[in-house]
């Protein structure tokens, strides 16, 4: 149990389902108060009621589309007025579409970067000044192993997650002397509804289903790292070993793993 987060306020984007919902529940189990953010207000309301009833912690919720930068400013300003401050921000909202560059649309490109990158940065900017002033806080960015290993049919998604990792690593250095922790989470495929959009044909899920991560386990690992100086969370270990080899010997790695890369 992570006693560090008891009584803390944890804000989670993309909290209405998937890994965001799992993180919220795990935080509540460990005594944290929740601020749930997502587009689907009806799902947030149900989850908020469940968390309050089951775990006896406060649970606020706000409808937020992270593609709308003006809305981000408005919602986080309201949160500051209602609650006071956020101790931990989990930038979880994101989506991907598996397709080649040739068959991807510019709208898909724009939407992925607006959600995965711009929304993440804008949300971070809203909580960071107070965290730095209080000398307490943690920003956790949900990136992906796709941000470390480029593969065919995920070029746009991979590019957005490379951007998230670049931002996260730079931000960590910028706030180093302000006692604010910055962590990137780089998971492989997780058993969530992410793939209803990313993999509409279901081919990728069929090929990797046996290796997909348990979302409850991933959520526990993330929550147990809150308010620690952990730099990265890389799951599963064998995939992260592959990403390390890819950084050192990309040509050899692409040659050895080439066929596996096309299983989307």
CATH number of domain containing 231: 3.40.50.720
d(CA 16, CA 204): 24
pLDDT on residue 150? 81
Least Cα distance to 6 among 248, 231, 227 occurs for 227
CB-based contacts of 142, cutoff 8 Å, min separation 6: 19, 90, 91, 92, 94, 185, 187
pLDDT on residue 60? 98
3-class DSSP state of 190: strand
pLDDT on residue 213? 87
pLDDT on residue 256? 67
67-119 residue pLDDT tens = 999 999 999 999 999 999 999 999 999 998 888 899 999 999 999 999 999 99
pLDDT on residue 121? 98
Structure tokens at 52: 């309050």
CB 167 within 8 A of CB 141: yes
- Neighbouring CB atoms inside 10 A of 126's CB total 18
Q: Can the peptide bond before residue 236 be classed as cis, meaning omega within 30 degrees of 0?
A: yes
pLDDT on residue 205? 54
For residue 187, the enclosing domain spans: 3-261
Enumerate residue ranges in the chain where pLDDT < 50. 198-199
| Of 60, 61, 157, 246, catalytic | 157
CB 75 within 8 A of CB 127: no
Least Cα distance to 140 among 3, 241, 247, 5 occurs for 5
pLDDT on residue 99? 87
Number of structural domains the chain divides into: 1
Active site residue 157: yes
pTM of the model: 0.89
């Amino acid at each position: 149990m992570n006693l560090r987060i008891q009584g803390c306020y944890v804000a989670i984007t993309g909290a209405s389902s998937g890994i965001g919902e799992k993180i919220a529940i795990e935080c509540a189990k460990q005594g944290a108060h929740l601020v749930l953010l997502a587009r689907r207000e009806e799902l947030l309301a149900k989850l908020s009621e469940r968390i309050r009833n089951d775990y006896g912690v406060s649970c606020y919720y706000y409808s937020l589309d992270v593609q709308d930068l003006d809305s981000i400013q408005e919602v986080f300003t309201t949160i500051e007025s209602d609650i006071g401050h956020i101790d931990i921000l989990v930038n979880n909202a994101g989506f991907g579409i598996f397709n080649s560059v040739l068959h991807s649309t510019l709208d898909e490109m724009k939407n992925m970067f607006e959600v995965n990158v711009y929304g993440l940065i804008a949300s971070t900017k809203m909580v960071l000044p107070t965290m730095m002033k209080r000398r307490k806080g943690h920003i956790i960015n949900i990136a992906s192993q796709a941000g470390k290993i480029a593969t065919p049919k995920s070029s746009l998604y991979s590019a957005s997650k490379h951007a998230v990792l670049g931002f996260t690593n730079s931000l960590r250095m910028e706030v180093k002397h302000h006692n604010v922790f910055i962590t990137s989470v780089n998971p492989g495929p997780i058993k969530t509804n992410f793939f209803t959009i990313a993999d509409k044909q279901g081919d990728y899920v069929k090929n990797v289903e046996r290796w997909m991560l348990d979302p409850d386990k991933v959520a526990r690992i993330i929550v147990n790292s809150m308010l620690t100086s952990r730099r990265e969370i890389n799951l599963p270990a064998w995939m992260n070993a592959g990403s390390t080899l890819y950084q050192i010997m990309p040509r050899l790695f692409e040659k050895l793993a080439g066929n596996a890369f096309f299983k989307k």
